Amino acid sequence: TSVNEVVCHGIPSPKTILQSGDIINVDVTPILNSYYGDTSRTFIVGGEQATSQVAKNLVQCAKDALHEAILILNDSAGVTDIASTITQIAQQQGFSVVYDFVGHGIGKTFHEEPNIQHCYFTAKKQPTIKLPRGMTFTIEPMINQKGPQTRVLSDGWTAVTTDGGLSAQFEHTIAILPNGEVDILTLP
């Protein structure tokens, strides 16, 4: 669970008491028949009426970025296309895309190749990676209220924004089927 300025890998603690208006990302990793899935969603504690307009906009931006990135997937799409879509949506709303953490291939192991960049400026520096039929991967944009920089806390795991701004994330596990159709494997 990642609360407010925690970008990802937040460690739940009974010392962390959620307040009305906080945002919290819940990241879940199911395993079914030896295959991994990975999904997350950001919630507003107390509902939309309990938080700031900036927090509402940030959460919606992260949700929209994931949705739009999924919509562009087809036989000719690549990682750069995903990153371009996400970056454009975030920048249009005055937010930034985290570049330190990425989506990933997924299957019988949790993290597999390739890395799925979400920030266009880092993706365009990588070799072109297409998304072939039969591939399973995650798209998990982390959108920050302020700058894209993160740092890992002394626990060696929890990542936070360096400027104290909020961070929101949505994630799905996606399969490109043999017929070229896109299947969102982690829909409820």
Burial of residue 45 (CB within 10 Å: 0-12, 13-18, 19+) is: middle
Taking the chain (188 residues) in consecutive chunks of 10 residues, what is each chunk's mean pLDDT?
A: 97 95 97 96 97 98 98 88 96 97 96 91 78 94 98 97 98 95 93
At 45-93, the pLDDT tens digits run: 999 999 999 999 999 999 999 999 999 998 788 899 999 999 999 999 9
User: What values do phi and psi take at 186, rounded to 5?
Assistant: -110, 20
